[in-house]
Amino acid sequence: MSKAIREHYKHYSEDFRLRMLSEYYDSGMSIYAFAKKH
């Protein structure tokens, strides 16, 4: 990978990781809430 792509990816991956984490957290919470109800 070229340096420019690597820099871009590094910047992108921060945002991506945060987005994935919050989506994972949201789905985890809804599964937890669902499991508690049943």
Q: What is the enclosing helix (H) or strand (E) of 38?
A: none
Number of folded domains in the chain?
Answer: 1
10-32 pLDDT tens trace: 777 788 888 888 888 888 888 88
- Specify the pLDDT at position 26: 84
DSSP alpha helix (H) spans, the chain: 3-37
Domain span at 11: 3-37
Separation between Cα atoms, residue 37 and residue 29, nearest integer Å:
12
- Specify the pLDDT at position 1: 62
- Specify the pLDDT at position 23: 85
- Specify the pLDDT at position 15: 82
